[in-house]
Amino acid sequence: MGSITCDRVSELKAFDDTKAGVKGLVDAGITTIPQIIIQDRHTKHKFDDKPICRDPKISIPIIDLQRILKDSSLRSQVIDQIRSACEKWGFFQVINHGIPTSILDQAIDGIRSFFSTRC
């Protein structure tokens, strides 16, 4: 799986617009996981500072923390970018954060384990 395509973004947006979430799918009695939710855990996404979709209406905010490491005077500017992304989108993508991929993989494995636990 490479970068997210516009079709996938459109499908995810349509799914999000239903406001049903994964619980809504379960409550509806689905027996298979929708393809838009499945991600190959062995494939690493290669993210950079380019938009993942050419549709200008769908451009996830990207916060580059490398700028702060190079010039600490830019800290307030990055904070403003984070604030704006949170207010307008509710989320953002962070790049050049310095967290090793192995740590991120462990976090994802822990999250998967938690959510696969039966109550």
Residues 29-77: pLDDT tens digits? 888 777 777 766 554 454 444 555 566 666 789 999 998 888 888 999 9
Question: Could you tell me the residue range of the domain that residue 30 belongs to?
Answer: 1-44
Same domain membership, residue 80 and residue 104: yes
Q: Residue 15 — very low, low, confident or very high, per pLDDT cuts 50/70/90?
A: confident
Same domain membership, residue 33 and residue 68: no
Residue 91 lies in a domain: yes
Alpha-carbon distance 115 to 30, whole Å? 17
Average pLDDT over residues 6-35: 77
Alpha-carbon distance 97 to 94, whole Å? 7
Same domain membership, residue 65 and residue 101: yes
Same domain membership, residue 86 and residue 36: no
**Rounded to 10 degrees, what is the CA torsion of 21, 22, 26, 30?**
100
Residue 4 lies in a domain: yes
Q: Which residues contact 73 (CB under 8 A, 6 or more apart)?
A: none
Residue 53 lies in a domain: no
Instruction: State residue 99's pLDDT score.
Output: 93
Same domain membership, residue 108 and residue 67: yes
Same domain membership, residue 69 and residue 39: no
Ranges of H-type helices in the chain? 6-17, 21-27, 66-70, 75-88, 101-116
**How many domains in the chain?**
2
**Type of residue numbered 115:** F
Whether 92 shows a pLDDT value over 80: the answer reads: yes
Whether 27 shows a pLDDT value over 90: the answer reads: no
Whether 1 shows a pLDDT value over 70: the answer reads: no
Is the pTM higher than 0.75? The answer reads no
Instruction: State residue 40's pLDDT score.
Output: 61
